[in-house]
Chain A
Amino acid sequence: QKEVEQNSGPLSVPEGAIASLNCTYSDRGSQSFFWYRQYSGKSPELIMFIYSNGDKEDGRFTAQLNKASQYVSLLIRDSQPSDSATYLCAVSPLTGGYQKVTFGIGTKLQVIP
């Protein structure tokens, strides 16, 4: 059973701080890693993806991947109340297509004004 582990939270951070969201995965053959944001009562939307070890930055968001340690993280700089949502980590193996993507349960982030 391939697993993707996330702390469900809530993770509370003050406005303007850095929010750090973490995800570990069990399948060493995992190749692609995604972060989705899901507002309460809404659908997931892709905000970041990463394939290679290291950091990938997009605006206030940075995804970090460490395949040796089997974790991927999402940093949100200058957190805003509008960032309050649940963040889903998703992991895909090398082969098999998107139908093989495994989702974590998500971490609820609360940004306190």
Chain B
Amino acid sequence: DTGVSQDPRHKITKRGQNVTFRCDPISEHNRLYWYRQTLGQGPEFLTYFQNEAQLEKSRLLSDRFSAERPKGSFSTLEIQRTEQGDSAMYLCASSLENRDGYTFGSGTRLTVV
């Protein structure tokens, strides 16, 4: 499979719990992006990596959010002390260069109850 994989597909968690999502990009892609999408809206940029370096973080990414991409391969997005407002679809995408189109994963849908 040469697509972008995200795990899990769905996550239901209680408010205050920590959650971690994983993204496996296309292997030869050096750029990896995280976006968040709420119902009826377009994806909002959260952060991106070039290889293992996290080059930019959105102001949407509060201190409760952290992302890593060890060794420039897969990436994880962790949300600590989840709040109901964190409920959304978390999308990962990768590209070879930003001049190319993104390949998106199917997303992880987070529901905080």
Genuine A/B complex: no
